[in-house]
Amino acid sequence: MADYRLPIKPSAMKEIDAISAKRDRLRSVQRITALARKPRPSGCEKLACAAGVNRKRQGQYRVIYSSTMPDMR
């Protein structure tokens, strides 16, 4: 199974860098990286306000993302 592309916006990186607890920051990065392999993990919720946008909870934080099918060329 192919991995999905996982571009991270500069504004999202700024938010991740602002997480003060190193452990929380590391877990957030691990959760985001795991989304490239499995974009619809258990506990993932679709957002009603936007098509194709999902939310995954990571501790007190939320990872908001969209996913599309990987390029199969």
pLDDT tens digits for range 35-69: 888 888 898 999 988 888 999 998 888 999 887 66
Q: Residue 11 pLDDT > 90, yes or no? A: yes
Above 70 in pLDDT, residue 7? yes
Can you say how many angstroms the Cα of residue 31 is from the centroid of all Cα atoms in its chain? 7
- For residue 72, what pLDDT is reported? 52
- Ordered by start, the domain boundaries in the chain are 10-66
| C-alpha to C-alpha distances, 49 to 3, 28, 39, 54, 70, nearest whole angstrom | 26, 23, 19, 10, 24
For residues 18 and 72, the model is more confident at 18
Average pLDDT over residues 22-35: 91
pTM above 0.75, yes or no: no
